[in-house]
Structure 1
Amino acid sequence: MKKIKVIGGGLAGPEAALQAAWMGCDVTLYEMRPIRSTEAHQTSDFAELVCSNSLKSESENSAPWLLKQEMRRANSFLLAAADDSAVPAGHALAVDRVEFSAKVAALIEQNPRITVVREEVTSLGERADEITVLATGPLTSPALVAELQRLTGSQHLAFYDSISPIVDASTIDMDKVYFAARWDKGTADYINCPFTKEEYDRFIDALSSAEMVPAKEWERIPGSDVSGADAKYFEGCLPIEEIARRGRDTLRFGPMKPAGLTNPKTGRWPYAVVQLRQENLRADSYNLVGFQNHLKYGEQARVLRLIPGLENANFLRWGQIHRNTYINSPTVLTETLALRAHPNILIAGQLSGVEGYTESIAGGLLAGRFAAALAHGQTPVPAPRISAHGSLMHYITHSEARNFQPANVTFDLLLPLEEDLRKKIRDKKERHRIQCERALAAWDLWLQETSLKRAENVA
């Protein structure tokens, strides 16, 4: 049986390693930290959450819920760790970062089939007796980026991702804020900082005049001098100053949207609002939801302290923007995540063109199973197109290559209902329920088929 090499200790890599080991394979898991760090990581921990601490919605029959339900049915190790380290977050699944990483580390350490090697991998030499899963994430080292360019023969794209600020909970003026969940959906776990029109105008003026951080060389798009305000940002994770640049009220319809957040002190929605989400189990820190930015730290201090309730806040971490790298998957990847020209090399996680923590873990789950099938001399079976996993794989391998951008899981990616059924069922929630029901049925059948192979392999 072939051995499996997994490169990358973020989210996709550990999940892939644990899945492959569960499928009866011996795995070597490589992670270059702490020997060499990245521009965004702060620790050498497995599964470090660099940006927010949220794994998105748990609302029944939503697309993120469907993806997580499929993952739970497939025995996702990292999602189980997330469930076990969850913190209050309304209808979303958010985790204590430190607790989450510790649980993932324990799973890896306790697995006798996984060997951890702390060193930087700089080449992807192919061996007949080895399957490689590359899950080095959006900040893949220059050496491996060069290797990917060599193997794929194509230029890699780049976009800018982000980190939201974190504030010390004890320094929030609780007299000016209130707890609420949007539309009273889920528990009221978010702290809401309400703005009047005058406060919002003052905030926008300050934000619009704030000075940005000059882009470092590693942030620039390869082969160009594009940076800062001219950067090619990922549309799903724009910095707040970029959103504000697109229109004075744009933030009020984005991360500062007040709809459904009734202020109990006034009985009305505020003019705008900033939401704070609990960062850890101790509830001693909160992150500013959607408030990633590329401003100098001193400018962040000036601007963010204009938020009602944060006038005297102590910020434990400032917002950041960093460049992410991903491959042009439609041109080089199969639906089982293998490079077309190099079928023993699989690409997983954000490097493959999925966006988001949950999506990255899901990609690792599939890569681990596909790699295990290859290691056992079998042909991997793609995830069913109708499922959330299959829809993600279909997107990254069938999108228009020229305009390919990473994607989160959404209903837009899932197979739509038949036109006659869509016309018959006008209620969107009911249509989504049917889509989820169909997806889970197909997913369960796929799991049954692949689990039979696992039983044979382990035996």
Structure 2
Amino acid sequence: MRIRVIGGGLAGPEAALTAASLGADVDLFEMRALVNGEPRLTPAHQTIEFGELVCSNSLKSESPNTAPWLLKQEMRRAGSALLRIADQTAVPAGHALAVDRVEFSRHIAEEIASEPRIRVIREEVTSLDAEDFAITIVATGPLTSDALSEDIRRITGSQHLSFYDSISPIVDAESIDMERVYFAARYDKGTADYINCPMSREEYDRFYDALVSAEPAELKDWETCDYFEGCLPIEELARRGRDTLRYGPMKPRGLRDPRTGREPWAVVQLRKENVRADSYNLVGFQNHLKYGEQARVLRMIPGLENAKFLRYGQIHRNTYICAPALLDQTLRLKDNPRILFAGQISGVEGYTESIATGMLAGIYGASLIRGIEPQAAPRGTALGSLVHYITHADAKGFQPANITFDLLLPLDEEIRRKIRDKKERHRMQCERALAEFDQWWRQREQTPAINTAEVL
């Protein structure tokens, strides 16, 4: 029995190399290829190489006790092939792990070529139906071909496949100046869960002028500006008229400021990202501005002058499934456990996160081939927390995510009261996560083999 891995980006090669290292035979499919001496590419890629980094060359922070560092530490302990290659091909980048793109891809290709259990097939896969494979791992990324996207839609249901990502910025709650904002619910209906940032007419005018003149993010040739009406970038909405925002996402009606007794000229509302209320998103503030411009303009909002942004706003093409409705904790389709999803199409964002889910899919697929029920990465680990998010988030409003401390289990309330320093709390979370990871990694193969047909 063989595993079919579809996709030669980051998650696919990682899944293939991981599964092969655990004794599984793998067919790795990649649609990019040389055809009559000419490269057949996707609209985003420039080469046919494995692991091509389309955007930046950074795999994020290597600073100890940060969330990206923690995720990479767990991956290193699990033997991630692509992370090992990234370490080998690293270039100076301060506190980040950045790689030489060409060397990174070349090393991946060499490792795949030297693995006798992997067979590379350069052709497009258009259907997930396959009698020749016991397991299929779909790792086709945000630019999954139209034909395969349609087949995924057929299998999962059209309502569970998204093609555009609309993301509002998220700020660290501790960086909000609470002296300048107030909690209120519109017309005092329900509980006062929203933070409201009030603007005077003068403050609004300055913000508006800065917003409509801000420099947009650069568009790739394969991206378009054909936005959905329901998720227009806030700068596009603003261009429809100076008061458009005041009748839309910045509407002040019903949000009386208890300190003045009056409604402000405009209001920016912040909504909790989680029950711990340690981060808030700017409601309706999806945008397509450069990150530096976002920071400059959004810090003009009263209360956000010193805001620390955990995530900036985005609108871009990004094919992904509604993982909370479709996947279990081992990345398998609930209705078809022979099919696993990994990488950006599974609902994660970022290079490291894509490699991480590819590694997990390879581990789980290899277990299934051997007749072993996969043991999901524990919730307390960074790996487990990332998968827990994509499989347990609100399916109705599901959006992809990077690894952040916001996804990890919080410390006990008593510890949080005693330890006020955030860096120390993060250190303790990392220490706990790595201990839980080590225990899982030691125990995961102790499950006895069973009848493979029962697992599949």
The aligned counterpart of 1:394 is: 388
Q: Report the equivalent of 1:158.
A: 163
Shift of 1:80: 0.5
Q: TM-score, normalised by structure 1?
A: 0.68
Which of 349, 354, 357 in structure 1 is aligned with 2:351?
Answer: 357
| The one of 289, 293, 308 aligned to 1:240 | 289
- Give per-residue Cα distances to partners, 1:52-90, cap 9 Å, x unaligned: 111000111110000000000000000011001111111
Q: Matches of residues 269-284 of structure 1 in structure 2 within 5 Å?
A: none
Aligned partners of 1:157 and 1:325 also within 8 Å: yes
1:377 to 371, 374, 386: 371
Counterpart Cα distance in 2 of 1:361 and 1:454: 28
Q: Say whether 1:324 aligns with 2:324.
A: no
- Matched with 1:4 is 3
What does 1:75-154 correspond to in 2, within 5 Å?
75-127=79-131, 129-154=133-158
Query: Identity percentage over the alignment?
Result: 55
1:315-366 deviations in Å (ceiling 9; x for gaps) = xxxxxx8511100000000110001111000000000001000000000000
Conservation of the 8 A alpha-carbon contact between 2:372 and 2:449: no
Q: 1:13 to 1:251 in 2, by over 3 A?
A: farther
One-letter identity of the residue aligned with 1:121: V
Map of 1:311 onto structure 2: none
C-alpha distance in 2 between matches for 1:389 and 1:40: 28
Label 1:67 to 1:218 Cα distance change in 2 as closer, same or farther (>3 A).
same
Counterpart in the other structure of 1:267 = none
Alignment of 1:249-264 (within 5 A): 249-250=297-298
Q: Which is worse superposed, 391-400 or 434-443?
A: 434-443
CA distance in 2, matches of 1:341, 1:211: 39
Change (3 A) 1:128 1:120: closer
Partner of 2:399: 405
The whole-number CA distance in structure 2 between the counterparts of 1:453 and 1:80 is 28
TM-aligned CA deviation for residue 445 of structure 1: 1.3
The DSSP-based 3-state class of the residue aligned with 2:59 is strand
- In 2: Cα distance, 1:47 partner to 1:211 partner: 24
Distance in 2 of aligned mates of 1:366 and 1:374: 12
- Measure, in 1, the Cα distance between the counterparts of 2:428 and 2:94: 25
* Per-residue deviation, 1:127: 2.8
Contact preservation (8 Å) 2:323, 2:346? yes
SS of the residue 1:444 aligns to: helix
Q: Which amino acid aligns with 1:15?
A: E
Measured in 2, the distance between the counterparts of 1:417 and 1:435 equals 7
Q: CA shift at 1:209, angstroms? A: 7.9
Secondary structure of the residue aligned to 2:83 is helix
Whole-angstrom distance in 1 between the partners of 2:60 and 2:69 = 8
1:443 to 427, 430, 437: 437
| Letter in structure 2 aligned against 1:46 | F
TM norm structure 2: 0.69
The answer to whether the 8 A contact 2:215-2:290 is kept is no
Please provide the CA RMSD for this pair.
Answer: 3.8
Return closer, same or farther for 1:346/1:213 CA change in 2, 3 Å cut-off: closer
Please state whether the residue corresponding to 2:144 is helix, strand or coil.
coil
Cα distance in structure 1, aligned partners of 2:84 and 2:54: 19
Q: One-letter code of the match for 2:59? A: L
Distance change in 2, residues 1:236/1:16 (3 Å): farther
- CA displacement at 1:213 relative to structure 2: 6.7
Partner of 1:44: 48
Q: Residue 406 of structure 2 aligns to a residue in which SS?
A: coil
Secondary structure at 1:27 match in 2: strand
1:158 CA displacement: 2.5
- Distance (Å, rounded) in 2 between the aligned partners of 1:78 and 1:19: 10
Deviation at 1:433, TM superposition (A): 1.1
Corresponding residue number in structure 2 for 1:182? none
Contact 1:32–1:121 (Cα < 8 Å) also in 2: yes
Return the letter of the residue paired with 1:240: L
Quote the offset at 1:249 in angstroms: 2.7
Displacement of 1:214 after TM fit? 11
CA contact 1:240–1:291 (8 Å) conserved in 2: no
2:435 and 2:285 map into 1 onto residues whose CA distance is 30
**1:271-322 superposed Cα distances (whole Å, 9 cap, x missing partner):** xxxxxxxxxxxxxxxxxxx9999xxxxxxxxxxxxxxxxxxxxxxxxxxx85
Q: Quote how far apart the aligned CAs of 1:440 are.
A: 0.6
In 2, Cα distance between equivalents of 1:44 and 1:382: 33
C-alpha contact (below 8 Å) 1:12/1:349 kept by paired residues:
yes
Deviation of 1:206 after TM superposition, in Å, equals: 10
Aligned residues: 352
Q: Structure 2 stretches of 5 or more lacking a match?
A: 168-206, 238-283, 451-456
Q: Distance in 2 between matches of 1:236 and 1:98?
A: 37
SS at structure 2 position matched to 1:249 = helix
1:122 CA displacement: 0.5
- Per-residue CA deviations over 1:384-406 (Å, capped at 9, x if unaligned) read 00000000010000000111110
1:429 equivalenced with 2:428 (yes/no) = no
Larger radius of gyration: 2
Q: CA shift at 1:128, angstroms?
A: 7.4
Question: Which amino acid in structure 1 is aligned with residue 146 of structure 2?
Answer: P
